Structure 1
Amino acid sequence: MKYIYIGVSAFLVSIAITVLFLFYGQRVIPDGNDKALVYFIILIPLGICCAYLLFRVVRSYAHFKGTYRNQTLEVSGPAVMFLLVVGIGYYFVRNPPLPPTFTLTITFKDSVSLKPLQGNANISYAGSYYPSQKIDEGQVKFSNKVSTGHEITIEPDIPGYELNGNKVFKVPGNNESLDIKLTKKENEQASKNAAIKLFRSYVNDYDTQMTNFADFLKYKVQYLFDESDTAYFHDFVTLLNDYNTAFNKLYGERNNLVSMLSTYMPEEKDRVKTFLDDVGDKSENIFQKFNDHADKITYPDEMKKMTKAEKNKFVETMHSIADDAHKWIAQFERRSDEIVQKLASL
C-alpha cells in the first residue's frame, strides 16, 4: 500500500511543480534562460510515479540493454520506466513538434476611408527577407507558411501613404487576416493635387483647342471663301496656332507626365503612356488628312482660283475631317476623365 502512496505523492508533486511553473515561471526564470531544466525537474517525480504504479501495483516487468562505443548499459525493473519517462519527455522538450502553418493574408487599407490600397510591401519572416511583394486589390497572400504568434516585419511601399507605429506584427491565429491601416502623407497629398491640376490643365487646353478646330471645320470653313471678309481666314490661322501650342504642351511633355503620374499609381503607368501616345497618333492622323488639302487655303489669293466644284469638294472633305476629330475628342475626354478620377481616388 505504501508504494501506492509513494506513486501518488510523486504524481501530485509533478502536478504541483507544473502548476507553479505555469503561473510563476515567467517571473522566476527570465527570458533567455534555459526553461528546459525546469521541465527536467518536473519529469523526475513523474517518472518515479510511473515506475511505482507499473511495477508495484500492476506488477509489470521490463528489461533494457544497450551498447554504445564498447560500453554496455543494462537496466531492469522500475528504472527502465523511470528513464523512459525522463528521457522521452526531455527529448520532446528539446525537439518540440513544429507548429501548424498557413498562408497569411495581409490587407492594406486607408485608415480613414478603409479603401484597399495598391503598391508593394517588403516582408521579413523567420530570418528571411521577401522584397517587393505586390499588393493586389489591397491584399498580399504571403504563402511562406507562417505560424500563429510568430513575429513578422512588414514595410509597405505605397505612394502617398505611410505606416505609423511599429512595423513588427504578431501573426494572428485561426487563419485570420492581418489588417494594416496606413495614413496619407500630407506633403504627398499636396504633390498629388498639384499633379492632377497640371494634368487637367494640359488636357483641358488640348481638348478646348481641338474642339475649336473641329467646330470651325464643321460649321465655318465655307466662310473662308468669302472674299469680302478675311476675318475668318485670320481666325482660322489663330486657331491652328493655339492648337499647336496646346498639343505641344500635352504631347511634348508626355514623358514627364507619365513619370509624374506613375509615382502615385504605378500600376497605371502603361495606361497613361498609351493614352498620351494615342494623342500623338490620332492628332497626326487627323492633321495629315487636313494638310493634304491645306495648301489650298494657305493664301487667300490661291482660294480665289478654286472653282465652285472644288470649293464644295473641299468643304465636304473638311466636314469629314471634323467628324473624325469630334469622335477622337469624345474618346479623349472619356479616357482622360478616367485617369483623373483614378488619380483622385488614391
Structure 2
Amino acid sequence: MHKTVPSAPKSKLANGRTVTNLATYNHFNFINSEAIKEAAVKTLRAYGVGPCGPPGFYGTQDVHQTLEADIAAHLGTPAAIVYAQSFSTISSVIPAFSKRGDIIVADKAVNFATRKGIQISRSTIRWYEHNDMEDLERVLAKLVKENARKPLTRRFIITEGLFENVGDVVNLPKLIELKQKYKFRIILDETWSYGVLGRTGGGVTEQQNVDASQVDMIIGSLAGSLCGGGGFCAGSEEIVEHQRLSGNAYTFSAALPAMLATTASATTRMLQEQPELLVALRENVRAMRAQLDPRSDWVTCTSAVDNPVLMLILKEEVLESRQLSAPEQDLIMQDIVEEVS
C-alpha cells in the first residue's frame, strides 16, 4: 500500500539524497504538527468530511463561527466571514460591493484573482503605477474632479498587502491618508501577507502599525502557511453581513470542511501564542536570501525583506551586457527551474 508523506523542510529523493524543500508554502511546518493532526482527525470523526451545503443552508457549523471570531480577534476588526475557497474570496468580495457605474482604482500589479473580481464587477476601472502613491493621488484627484457634478457612486482603492507578482509590500499608512483625503474605501488583499507579516502574523496592518478598522475590507487566505483552507474577509459588521447574501462564492458554494476550519483556528492561535515562530521564519528568510542576493551574478530578489516567497529576476547588467530578449530570459529562468527541480 502506498503511503503519502507530507511535505517537510527536508525531502528524500528517489536516488537517496536528502535535500532542502524550498518549493512549499508550509513556512512554519504546521503540516507535520502532531497536535494539529490530532485536532483535525478528532474534528473529522465528529463532523464528517464536509458540511454538504452552502453556509446559509445547512452548511454553517460551530467551528466556522469560531474561526470567524478567531480571525476578527487576531486582526482587531468587529467581524469576519469565511469562504470555502481562497481564490474565489477576493473575486467574490469585489463584485459584492462594486457594481456597474461604481469606480475602482487599482494597482497595476494586483494578482489574477483580484483582476477577475474587478472584471466581474463591471465597474469603471482606473489603474495606477505599481506602489506609486504619487501616481495614485494623481488618479484619485482626477477622478474626484471629473465626477464632481455627477451622482454619487461607490468608490474603491484595491491593492495587495504583499504583492504576489512582485513580492514587495504596500505603503498602507499613505494609502489610508489618501483614502481619507479623497473619500474612497479600501479593499486590501492580504492573501500572501496574513500569517506571514507582523509580530504575530496579523499582516500588513500589524506590521505597519495601522488600525485595522481603517481598512474597509481585509481579504486573506487560510491555506498555504496556515495549513487550513478557504479564505476570509474581515471588516465591520455591516460589511460582513452584506456578504452572507451577496457574496456569490459564499452563497452558492458548499461551506469549508469543518476539519480545515479547526486547523486554521489552531494555527492562527499558535502564531499569536508563539511569536517565536515568526522570528524563526524571518531568520530562515534572511539566511536563504543571503545565498541568492547579492551573491548571485545573475539574479536579484525583488521581495520584501520579510517575504518568505523570494521573487527572483535577472539583473539589469546581465540583460544589458547579453542583450537578452524576453523569450531568451524565459528560457534561462526555465533552465534554472529545471536544474533545481
TM-score, length of structure 2 as denominator length: 0.16
Relative contact order (C-alpha < 8 Å, sep 6+): which is higher? Answer: 2
Whichever of the two has the greater Rg, that structure is 1
* Structure with the largest fraction of helix: 1
**TM-score where L is the length of structure 1:** 0.16
